Amino acid sequence: MKTLLKTLVTGLVACNVVVALVKVVQKHTCKEKEEEDVIENDSVCDGASNDVGNILDEWNKVNAEVEERKCLVKFSRELFNSIKENNTDLSEWMKATKNMYDALKRRAEIESKFENVCAKASLSMKDEMT
């Protein structure tokens, strides 16, 4: 990305040099046509300047995201180190989490059994009616 950015900036500088040379040549050749050509060449370089500006904006956004992610990684490491230092608290938290998970699993099993019993009862009632 840095190479691309350097290439674009170099191209912009080269474009401005070409425009300056064109202006010098135009002064010595044709005065009437000078304004039209200068405006056209300036608009080309303005477009290149805008492209470089847009690329710089995107580059800054990427750098901001990288910095944000670095902060998140740093926070995660600090959090992990803090948890690692307090092993007893972590083990209690893990036990509580496991108990909660087991309770949710049992609830799902009970609901599933209830649905199966209801479905069987519904089928047997249909059989009795026919």
- The pTM (predicted TM-score) of the whole model is 0.31
Q: Across the chain, what does the average pLDDT equal?
A: 68
Q: DSSP letter string over the chain?
A: -HHHHHHHHHHHHHHHHHHHHHHHHHHHS-HHHHHHHHHHHHHHHHHHHHHHHHHHHHHHHHHHHHHHHHHHHHHHHHHHHHHHHTHHHHHHHHHHHHHHHHHHHHHHHHHHHHHHHHHHHHHHHHHHH-
**Structural domains of the chain, count:** 2
Q: State whether 29 and 71 are in the same domain.
A: yes
The model's pLDDT over 75-122, given as tens digits with 9 standing for 90+, comes to 777 777 777 776 656 676 677 778 888 888 888 888 888 888 887 777
Answer yes or no: do 16 and 78 share one domain.
yes
Residues 3 and 59 both lie in one domain: yes
Q: Which domain holds residue 20?
A: 1-85
What mean pLDDT do residues 8-17 have?
Answer: 56
